[in-house]
Amino acid sequence: MRTGYTGHVTPAEWRWAALVSGILLLAAFVPLIWAGLATHPGNDWLYVGVIHDYVDSATYLARMAQGAQGQVLTVILHSPEPQSATFQHILYAILGSTADLLALPTIATFHLARIAASLFMYMSLYQLASTIWTKVRTRRLFFVIVNVSAGFGWIAGPLTGDFNFLDLRWPEAFPFSSSLVNVHYPLIIGLLALLIGALVPVFRPGEVSDPDVANGGTIVFLSGLMVATVHPIAYVPLLMAFSISLAILWFRQRSITRRELRWLLWFAVPSLPILLYYVFVLNFNPLVRRVFLQQGDAAPPTLLALILSLGLPLIFALPGLFRAFRRLELDGDLMMLLWLLMLVLFIYVPAIGGPPAAIGISLPVAYFATRSLEDYWFRINRLNGRNRLRLMAALLPLMAASHLLVLWLPIQLLTSQNPEDSGGVLLPEDYLRAYTWLAGRVQSDDVVLAAPEVSLWLPVIIRTHVVYGHPIETADPGTKRGAVMAWYRGLSQDCDALLRGDYTIDGSYRIRYVLYGPAERQFGSTACLQNLDPAARFGSVEIYATGQDD
């Protein structure tokens, strides 16, 4: 690595960062490209177009499908309840509108947006490094650690049988993993990097500038607003860390200065209406409130699992963390330390946080790891530049092992000799023909009954509601999934109870069509179809009408 110092990012640095980012992007998209080119057994299976975190991807694509129809406010199609449209996930509604404007398939737009968001994230992370460090070698060290490293989940998971590790289950915690799954995770991490890069200089000794367009004020204003809009759970911990840092600064100064107060106002005030809107929705929209609480109910990793999830970077970071705790210096260390503490706190706070609050937690860890490597580990071992490079190169596979596991493990779903075991990544092509038939007959508020893996994609393709389609975005998912399985197994005492909408948390719904194909037959032969009217058949997939047309 180069050891020069510079107060700005040179074109050569940007080229280096772009090259490394390109390699990471290529690695992230190779499985997707391979899957698209792969030939499935018998050529009668449909590849849905996503691999990593495909279950959640279906919910984002469903909102894109609504956006393509001109809807800015969207509803949760993976639950059958009647509901009011909300401002949630506006990013995907906009992407859907963009796809319609450019006449692109929503799935293609989704992946193109992933590429753009991931590239933005990588460039923002290098910009953050250049804001903190003047030494080029240190910037590159941070960039590699934050983007390539993960934890020890790859070995601890198989050994313990517990896979609830951040580096295995929660891609939002790490930049590379976030680039595998959706658009908003890398976008938010990139925005957080820009925010931190603009906020850290506020605490530098001798800094006297007020927020304005030239010194990062605009970045704080716009980035904070976008983070609060797209993913508010990422906004609150950083706002708390910045506010507490200012409180400590004011305590030490024995006064509140207008300069620091203006920076806080530029950060907090623009996002306040957005946060109040979300509070209003949670209070007055029962379905959104239930889905939000279900997300927060996800079991957090144990404290030991959390430590193992952060792996070697956390070990490297220990001297820097100890120094930050001991000195509480207002030079960036304090705010990074407080941000890390707030993220850990929110991971273990049910309902309002949970593991999804870990988004970007690898950034402060990588910050302290980089500082510790430069200021402590390299010095006590008296490693010169070449030996440092050799050491990091030797450790790189160990740091990246969890990423490699997460990257390639889903490929097994596509290479399996039994495509029916893919869990929804592959569907029989007969379902596509059934979807096409339904698309011309259902309305947006209709409900269709199908097996869980089939219901996952119904809202994406034909923009209709389903009884059970998602473990989080279906209200009371355990009850509804059990009811669907019992109905298809013929175990229901009252077949009409599910059809007339007895399984609901708010308001009634009525099922209009029922699918019965290979996925549904896996549950058994149900007697509940006897009272329904056959409407269409496409190969192995039958469609029944309930007679409950509006």
Instruction: Indicate the pLDDT class of residue 2, thresholds 50, 70 and 90.
Output: very low
How much is the pLDDT for 393? 84
The string of pLDDT tens digits covering residues 165-217 is: 999 999 999 999 999 999 999 999 999 999 999 998 888 877 778 888 878 88
Count other C-beta atoms under 10 Å from residue 218's C-beta: 14
How much is the pLDDT for 259? 87
Pairing assessment for the beta strands 511-516 and 541-545 based on DSSP bridges: antiparallel
Q: Is the distance from CB of 165 to CB of 223 less than 8 angstroms?
A: no
- In this structure, the answer to whether residues 399 and 432 fall within a common structural domain is no
Q: How many domains in the chain?
A: 2
- The chain-wide mean pLDDT, for the chain, equals 87
- In this structure, the answer to whether residues 257 and 361 fall within a common structural domain is yes
Q: Which comes out higher in pLDDT, residue 256 or 459?
A: 459
Asked whether residue 380 carries a pLDDT value surpassing 50, the answer given is: yes
- In this structure, the answer to whether residues 141 and 210 fall within a common structural domain is yes
- In this structure, the answer to whether residues 346 and 439 fall within a common structural domain is no
- Edge-to-edge strand order for the sheet containing 511-516? 465-466, 447-449, 511-516, 541-545, 533-538
Asked whether residue 272 carries a pLDDT value surpassing 90, the answer given is: yes
Distance CA 197, CA 329 (A): 17
Q: Is 289 inside any structural domain?
A: yes
Asked whether residue 228 carries a pLDDT value surpassing 50, the answer given is: yes
Asked whether residue 375 carries a pLDDT value surpassing 80, the answer given is: yes
Asked whether residue 130 carries a pLDDT value surpassing 90, the answer given is: yes
Q: Is 54 inside any structural domain?
A: no
- In this structure, the answer to whether residues 253 and 398 fall within a common structural domain is yes
Q: Is 451 inside any structural domain?
A: yes
The domain boundary, picked from 352, 384, 410, lies at 410
Q: Does the model's pTM come out above 0.75?
A: yes
How much is the pLDDT for 420? 64
Asked whether residue 550 carries a pLDDT value surpassing 70, the answer given is: no
The string of pLDDT tens digits covering residues 400-440 is: 999 999 988 877 666 665 666 666 777 888 898 899 899 88
- In this structure, the answer to whether residues 357 and 477 fall within a common structural domain is no
Note down the domain range covering 498: 426-545
- In this structure, the answer to whether residues 452 and 344 fall within a common structural domain is no
Percentage of the chain exceeding pLDDT 90: 51
- In this structure, the answer to whether residues 171 and 233 fall within a common structural domain is yes
User: At 392, is the secondary structure helix, strand, or coil?
Assistant: helix
